[in-house]
Structure 1
Amino acid sequence: MPQKNNLFQKLRLWFYVLRQNRFRDKLTKRILKFTSSPEGKKYEAEGAFIASHGLTVFPYPFQFNYDRSKVELGFSEEYPYFDYKGKPLFLPKSWSSDKAKAYANDVLKEQDAQSPHVYNTPLFTLDQEDILLDIGCGDANFSLESIEKVKKVFLFESDPKWVIPLDKTFQKWKNKVQFFNRRVGTDLDSIDLSKIKDLASQQVVFKIDVDGAEREVLKLIDPLLNQLKSIKVAICTYHQNQDASDFEHWFKTRGFDTSFGKGYMVFHPDAQIKKPFFRPGVLFAYRNSVTSLSNQ
């Protein structure tokens, strides 16, 4: 029986890889046809990159600066970590060295200054009076990078594998970091943002990356907006086809100034991806509530 189960698992994996490869091949052809048409001329450079180098989430040459084999890992109590902009960022203990290196390489690539997914840009500066809410923080690389720039950090991550790595990453700054191993929401198993003390009349920064559940988070923060002194938001806009336009409209109708980061992503893990295929990675939104309310 174990041999039959093993064979069945191998067959399932083989069919999965086959389906994924077929999907990627078809998607690549659709993208190249689109970018070679007048309709897709805006993305001509990205299409040329894909034609030369294959389908990739980041269709830009900066990715060639990264090589997982060159990532150096350290270990503390068997937990792997890597240097993230001068600070150790810890990863789950259960991960192999190869998996940890691949993940670290992806983080470094994703947060490259030329990446469409980078948060730390001239568009999104933080200061010592800011309170950062990192919603869907994962490894919390943005919070780690920002920890010495802000007054306090709240981390929200429901995946239990990050509990100990996050504790180790922020050991040095425990006095200014509070971690919730739950998703944001209003039910008993979640964290209600309205119940967090000391946010009223403060400068608050929201970083939101929740794998496609961003709309639900926006509903939760909406009632808080007019209670805050000023608001800065970085929200991912690449998980679904309409995210960029929908989120930009959502913020503009609430008096925010908005801007997108540079470039585009091709989020091919989304099976529903469609034209124009290329999605902005992050939307930045800003509002001074006092000014906005006085102008309404």
Structure 2
Amino acid sequence: MKKIIDTLHYKIRSRWLTFTHHKKQQRVRKKILSYYARHPSPDTEIQEAVTYLSKHPLTTFYGTFQEKYHAHDVPVFTDAANGLPYVMAEGKKLFFKRSHHKRTVQLLYNALRTEQDPDAPHCYIDPAFRIHKEDVLADVGCAEGYFSLLHIENLKHVYLFEQEREWVEALEATFAPWKEKVSIIPAFVSDQNNNGHISLDHYFLQLPEKPDFYKIDVEGAEGRVLQGMKKLLFEKPVKIALCTYHHQEDFEIFSRFFAQNGFSHRPNPGLMIYQNDLDHIVPPFFRKCLIKATNNHV
């Protein structure tokens, strides 16, 4: 009976949250279109995003690439051995939190595969910026570990940094077949080394092999992660895929950071709307999603 009540409560709450978020999206869409009707932008990417938005509901990304993905198409399974929900991602089991309901898993996985579409502004790699065979990957803020799972067969080793305990349980299940080349670090990555926080410089100090590729997506703490890896930036050739959308000014700040440290860097094409910031969204509304940076001084 408790399970039935919990499921009913979840459905009611989910539908209410979906309804209120949809109403908020409608208000923000109207606000954006009204603003650019009065203040046309000379920026081509903004023009394209506004044109797309004028014909579609407000979503995170702007482009036809996302239209081939639908959450209701995602089959969700429950593992008989550990009880965790999972989906099949390119033939591999990708586990989610024990507390996640089927619909939540469908929505999360659909968002993951959408954002890693080759045409998405959130995609971490491209033909000129990719992971090579036998690379070492640091997945900083890995959550479910989808990006690492896509490349696990080619990696020499992967370091998964994720502080949330429920995600750690899911990660242990997902990467069990490759546990000999996977390290899971349950800590906040920062520029400090105390109270559950760790810097990348400190963590990798005693390890003989440093990462070749860093994927950094830490819910707005990207600046502190960079400050805590100053030594690693100059130790060997590296690639860094860094999220720049959690704060309006992040793209400009991190562009300056990489330029000042001798990195060549470029944004991913395209723009996005950060859905978690709709209550405080201001012009230009759209944000650059990701910087791809590499050093040329080693």
TM-score range, shorter chain: 0.7 to 0.9
Q: Judge conservation of contact 2:199–2:229 (CA < 8 Å) in 1.
A: no
Q: Distance in 2 between matches of 1:265 and 1:225?
A: 28
SS at structure 1 position matched to 2:179? helix
Q: Does 1:212 align with 2:226?
A: no
Q: Is the Cα–Cα contact under 8 Å of residues 261 and 281 in structure 1 kept in the other structure?
A: yes
Confirm or deny: 8 A CA contact 2:138 2:211 kept in the other structure.
no
The correspondence of residues 1-296 of structure 1 with structure 2, limited to 5 A, is 23-36=24-37, 37-39=39-41, 42=44, 43-76=46-79, 77-185=82-190, 186-193=193-200, 194-197=202-205, 202=210, 204-226=212-234, 228-270=235-277, 271-290=279-298
Distance 1:223 1:273, change over 3 A: farther
CA distance in 1, matches of 2:267, 2:77: 35
Q: Residue 178 of structure 1 aligns to a residue in which SS?
A: strand
TM-score (norm 2): 0.84
3-state SS of paired residue (1:64)? helix
Kindly state the Cα deviation for residue 162 of structure 1 after the two structures are TM-superposed: 0.7
Q: Is the alpha carbon distance of 1:288 and 1:85 closer, same or farther for their aligned partners in structure 2, counting shifts above 3 Å?
A: farther
How far, CA to CA, are the matches of 1:110 and 1:145 in structure 2? 13
The alpha-carbon distance between structure 1 residues 175 and 16, as it changes in their structure 2 partners (threshold 3 A), is closer
Deviation at 1:129, TM superposition (A): 4.3
The answer to whether the 8 Å contact 1:84/1:108 transfers is no
Does the aligned pair in 2 maintain the 1:229–1:288 contact within 8 Å?
no
Residue 41 of structure 1: how far off its partner (Å): 5.1
1:200/1:229 contact within 8 Å kept: no
Query: Residue 98 of structure 1: SS of its match in structure 2?
Result: helix
What CA distance in whole angstroms lies between the structure 1 residues aligned with 2:211 and 2:160?
Answer: 17
How far the C-alpha of 1:224 sits from its partner, in A, is 2.6
What number of residue pairs does the alignment pair up?
Answer: 278
Identity of aligned residues (%): 33
RMSD: 2.5
User: What is the rounded CA distance, in whole Å, between the counterparts of 1:139 and 1:21 in structure 2?
Assistant: 26
Q: Which runs of 5+ in 2 are unaligned?
A: 1-11
Q: Which runs of 5+ in 1 are unaligned?
A: 1-9, 291-296
Q: Match of 2:49, as an amino acid?
A: E
Aligned equivalents of 2:17 and 2:100: distance in 1? 26
Matched letter for residue 40 of structure 2: P
Provide the residue aligned with 1:293 in structure 2: none
What one-letter code is carried by the residue in structure 2 that aligns with 1:164? E
Mapped to 2, the partners of 1:200 and 1:209 lie a distance apart of 25
Q: Secondary structure at the match of 1:230?
A: coil
Amino acid in structure 2 at the alignment position of 1:281 = C
SS in 1 for 2:180: helix
* SS class of match (1:38): coil
The whole-number CA distance in structure 1 between the counterparts of 2:213 and 2:222 is 15
Q: TM-score, normalised by structure 1?
A: 0.85
Task: Tell me if structure 1 keeps the 8 A contact 2:262–2:296.
Answer: no
